[in-house]
Structure 1
Amino acid sequence: MATNLIKQTDFDAIIIGGGACGLMCAVQAGFLGKRTLILERNDKVGAKILISGGGRCNYTNLYSSTQQFISANVHFAKSAFAQWTVDDTVSFFETYGIEGQEKTLGQLFPTSNNARDVVKVFTNLCYELGQEIQCDTTVKNIKQIDSGFHISYEKNGKEHTIEAPKVVIASGGLPIPKIGATDFGLSIARKFDLKIIDTAPALVPLTITGKDQPWYEQLSGNSIFCRVWNDRISFDENILFTHWGLSGPAILQISSYWKPGEFIYIDLLPNQDIVELIQQEKEVNGKKMLLAYLAGLYTRKFAEALSDKLPVEKNLASLTKADIENISSLIHEFKVKPAGDKGYDKAEVMRGGVSTDELSSKTLEVKKVPGLYYGGECVDVTGWLGGYNFQWAWASGFVIAQSI
């Protein structure tokens, strides 16, 4: 049957976006005997799933709770996470052949290390449950009508329309436009006069420019376990020096809590005291050069890079009190003022989005537009790095499916 001849009664809901939230919503709706149609802009569903975790897909985090999420209302996601738990995610994927393996900090990956297996679970289930997926489809507009919603979209250069009683916006956020990310969800929110929390790239590398850039550039490729913090939060993970600034898990994490113009601080030797370590070494070998000592703690390249900041040409015995204070300050409180971030091209997620004030926390239905639902990344619920955002996507998809 031609797409433009599909009648309103054919589907209980139209889901816009075939990512994690949209796919879970379609499958869970199918379990309840409801029919849905996914309209996906890309030529295949699950584009972001496929590239996540370097193609391995970190599909949840065993320690996920609302504490790892940023939102203007930190309590909003509690209802969704109570309805669909981490255990539910683990059980769901195990049921369909995906066993999880924990890497670091609760991150769960498929034992196959293949994100395609995650997408296959959903495409297979959609087929079995009679849920339809239409790719290469660009939704142009959504209008509210007496019987629900009128949707206009383009496929193969032709305009089509379809009507349905309910619509789910699961079209994601702004990051990674090269895989089809757009502002569709936000533009529809504006059309319906919904409040939007200011958006920004999150889980994104930070840039250093000006006179400091060459110093970072020379260290490109060096990775160091650190504690990174600001006045709001701290993270203990690796940082990665790059030719344009800083990346690595700890930097991506802190970026979600960073605003332009602010400093971040880095403890280059967390859980140890450099002053005590130097004192102990001095008692054994006071003639050891500071450069050689630092090269034992870090890479030689990093130790040499500190030569313009520390008296690395001195031996440990000759270090003055001022030298020691300078070393301690630099190692334990390395101060950085990023120039900016790498933007949506390199960001893993978007911070901000449709305000949770506009949505029912129980169903994710828009309060003033009955039958319209928002889930996943375009909602103002942003998780940490490490599978948290997938957990929100699965949970929001499940919750919406119960109500459509």
Structure 2
Amino acid sequence: MDVDAIIIGAGACGLMCAVQAGFLGKRVILLEKGAKAGAKILISGGGRCNYTNLYSTDEQFISNNKHFVKSAFKQWSVSDTISFFETYGVFGKEKTLGQLFPDGKDARDIVAIFTGLCDELGQNLICKANVLDVVPIPDGFEVEYETNDVRNIITASKVVVATGGLPIPKMGATDFALKLARRYGLELTDTAPALVPLTITGKDEEWYAQLSGNTVFCEVSNDHISFEENLLFTHWGLSGPSILQISSFWRPGQTITINLLPHQDIAVIIEEERRSNGKILLSTLLSRFYTRKFTDAMGKFLPLDKQIANLTKVDIDSVHKILHEFTVKPAGDKGYDKAEVMRGGIDTDELSSKTLECKKIPGMFFGGECVDVTGWLGGYNFQWAWASGFVIAQHI
């Protein structure tokens, strides 16, 4: 087929690349292993699709090269994302912390924009296409793929690898990009689940399990960073936005610290309350801030049955440390089945930051999640996917 490029993977990056290439008059073949395009888009945000973040900058991304994303974000900004979707009838509504969701629409509408534009622009989207091999040939690449047990070989001068990362294997996630990169001698950074719940085992497992379903607004931190959002207790450990955020910065064996009462000082609250109502129990005081179930569970660590007037300095110091510096040492994480993204991937030193073209293999491009660029929770990873897709489209 006479096409300018073959794009492998019809996720956020691949779809944006195909559409933007079409706007430039370039023809592509888009190969998708799954039964339909945009499978991960469709489940994002519970099907609502948090498609960008108003406050997205290079600061919210993890990479061995923290400056790598700057060029892509200069070429395709948050404003560009917003304008693009508004052009096709999707207007954003901010939920919290800059998270932008389609107002009155959902993830299906996001995917429909891309599939509709691919049709209009004559871009050839082939689903259930399992790519078997990518081989450099003179003046381009040969891509072998299989559909319905039939093997096909197509060629183009450029190839784009946008096959995503390892999370959610039941949806078809594979290590295709990583294996291809290794095969051609490209360096990889260590990969691991990110934006993922953390597990608790051992003697404390039962204590966490009894709180399953309870949420607490808190500040979760380690030696590198902190996040203020809700924490969710589960029957196997900890989840919720704050935990997903810190998980990207957590490594096995490390501890995390949880401030269960941010922006307030429990020692000050106790002293103030003593002057007016010292006879109330510590449990009664804490029930102003937490659910009854959570307060009762804290009885393992705190003298809940003491009147606050009878709390000693040692008691108050203990209450302060427990509530403001609650330390947790997770046993592990829930793995790629529950992770939203993959941390690590193809080393950014292997790619041009301006074009995302592979330095060692001219004409081969990598974009999206398979690259060592991992965003925070809240639409940041979509912004990277859109931007990388746009950038690659300019150069294929």
TM-score normalized by the length of structure 2: 0.99
Q: Following superposition of structure 1 onto structure 2, how do residues 312-331 of structure 1 map, counting pairs within 5 Å?
A: 312-331=304-323
Alignment of 1:4-403 (within 5 A): 7=1, 10-403=2-395
Secondary structure of 1:296's counterpart equals: coil
CA drift of 1:20 comes to 0.2
What amino acid is aligned across from residue 222 of structure 1 in structure 2? N
| CA–CA separation in structure 2 for the residues paired with 1:188 and 1:140 | 10
Deviation at 1:147, TM superposition (A): 2.3
- Does the 8 A contact of 1:290 with 1:314 survive in 2? yes
What is the rounded CA distance, in whole Å, between the counterparts of 2:216 and 2:302 in structure 1?
18
Q: Distance in 1 between matches of 2:174 and 2:6?
A: 18
User: Is the contact between residue 24 and residue 398 of structure 1 (CA under 8 Å) also seen in structure 2?
Assistant: yes
1:130-184 CA-to-partner distances (Å, cap 9, x unmatched) read 0010001110111110021111111101211111111000000000011110000
**How well do the aligned residues superpose, as a CA RMSD in angstroms?**
0.6
Contact 2:21–2:27 (CA<8 Å) still a contact in 1? Answer: yes
Q: What is the deviation of 1:247?
A: 0.2
Measure the CA separation in 2 of the matches of 1:137 and 1:161: 11
Deviations 1:24-83 (A, max 9, x none): 000000000000111001000000100000100000000000000000000000000000
- Give distance in 2, aligned partners of 1:394 and 1:55: 18
How far apart are 1:270 and its partner, in Å? Answer: 0.2
User: What amino acid is aligned across from residue 64 of structure 1 in structure 2?
Assistant: S
Find the residue that maps to 1:335 and give its secondary structure: strand
Structure 2: distance between partners of 1:186 and 1:250: 29
1:266-316 deviation line (CA, Å, top 9, x unaligned) = 000000000011111121111101111111210000000011111111110
Give the match's secondary structure for 2:223: coil
Q: CA deviation at 1:113?
A: 4.1
3-state SS in 1 of match to 2:224: coil
For normalisation by structure 1, the TM-score amounts to: 0.97
Following superposition, which runs of at least 4 residues in structure 1 exceed 2 angstroms of deviation?
Answer: none
Quick check: 1:382–1:389 contact (8 Å CA) kept in 2?
Answer: yes
Letter of the 2:237 counterpart: G
Whether contact under 8 Å (1:57, 1:113) holds in the other structure is no
- Separation in 2 of the partners of 1:373 and 1:361? 11
- Matched residues in 2 for 1:210 and 1:365: separation? 47
Task: Verify the 8 A CA contact 1:16 1:40 in the aligned structure 2.
Answer: yes
In 1, Cα distance between equivalents of 2:161 and 2:384:
15
Q: 1:42 and 1:250 mapped to 2: Cα distance?
A: 32
Amino acid at match of 1:322: V
Q: Distance in 2 between matches of 1:380 and 1:287?
A: 57
Kindly provide the amino acid, as one letter, of the partner of residue 355 in structure 1: D
**Is the Cα–Cα contact under 8 Å of residues 15 and 22 in structure 1 kept in the other structure?**
yes
Unaligned segments of structure 1, at least 5 residues: 1-6
CA contact (8 A) 2:90 2:105 kept: no
- The answer as to whether partners of 1:275 and 1:328 remain within 8 angstroms in 2 is yes
Contact 1:15 1:38 in 2 (8 A): yes
Between the two proteins, the alignment pairs up a number of residues equal to: 396
Cα distance in 2, alignment partners of residues 113 and 262 from structure 1: 41
